[in-house]
A and B are shown apart, each in its own frame.
Chain A
Amino acid sequence: MPSFQNRQELVNELEYHYFIFLLFSIFGIVEAIQLYHQKQRKELTIYLFLLLPGLVITVYTATQVGLPSIAEELGSWFGWMSQ
Chain B
Amino acid sequence: MKREPLSFKQTVYLLILFIIGSTIILPVGTEAKQDIWAAVLLAIVMTLPVVLVYARILSLYPERNLLEINEQILGKVVGRFINFLFAFYAFTLCALVLDNFGQFINVTAIPETPLAIPMLILCLLALWATKEGLEVIARSGEVYLPIIVFVATFTFLFLTPNLNINRLQPSLYQNSGGIVSAALHLFSFPFAETVIFTIIIYCTNKTKAMAKVYLAGLLIGGGIILLSVTSVMAVIGPERYQASYFPAYLAVQTINVGDFLQRVEVVVFLIAIFAGFIKISLCFFAACKGLSNALGCKEYRFLTVPLGLLEFLFASNLFNSTKQMAQWASEVYLYFAFPFQVALPMVIWILGEVKRRGRQGSPEVDLHDELR
Q: Which A residues are closer than 8 A to B by beta carbons?
A: 1-2, 12-13, 16, 20, 24, 27-28, 31, 35, 40, 42-43, 46-47, 50-51, 53-55, 57-58, 61, 67-72, 80-82
Give the number of A-B contacts (CB < 8 Å): 78
Q: Which B residues are closer than 8 A to A by beta carbons?
A: 114, 116-117, 120, 295, 297, 299, 302-303, 305-310, 312-314, 316-320, 324, 327-328, 331-332
Q: Are B309 and A72 in contact (CB under 8 A)?
A: no
B214 CB to nearest chain A CB (Å): 31
Q: Are A42 and B324 in contact (CB under 8 A)?
A: no
Q: Are B114 and A13 in contact (CB under 8 A)?
A: yes
Expressed in whole angstroms, the Cα–Cα distance for A3 and B7 within the complex equals 51
Closest to A35 in B: B302
Q: Are B319 and A69 in contact (CB under 8 A)?
A: yes
- The verdict on A16 contacting B120 (CB below 8 Å), with A51-B309, A61-B317 known, is yes
Residues on A with beta carbons closer than 8 Å to the beta carbon of B316: 61
Q: Are A46 and B297 in contact (CB under 8 A)?
A: yes
Q: Are A43 and B299 in contact (CB under 8 A)?
A: yes
Residues on A with beta carbons closer than 8 Å to the beta carbon of B308: 24
Mostly, the B contact residues are: helix
A13-B114, A70-B319 known; 18 new pairs, CB 8 Å cut-off, are: A12-B114, A16-B114, A16-B116, A16-B120, A20-B120, A20-B309, A24-B305, A46-B295, A46-B302, A47-B302, A54-B310, A58-B313, A67-B317, A69-B319, A70-B318, A71-B324, A72-B324, A81-B332
Q: Are B313 and A31 in contact (CB under 8 A)?
A: no
Closest to A17 in B: B116
- The verdict on A69 contacting B318 (CB below 8 Å), with A20-B312, A54-B309 known, is yes
Expressed in whole angstroms, the Cα–Cα distance for A33 and B302 within the complex equals 12
Looking at the complex, which one of A2, A31, A58, A81 makes contact with B324 (CB distance below 8 Å)? A81
Expressed in whole angstroms, the Cα–Cα distance for A58 and B306 within the complex equals 12
A48 CB to nearest chain B CB (Å): 8
Q: Are A72 and B306 in contact (CB under 8 A)?
A: no
Residues on A with beta carbons closer than 8 Å to the beta carbon of B297: 42-43, 46
Residues on A with beta carbons closer than 8 Å to the beta carbon of B114: 2, 12-13, 16
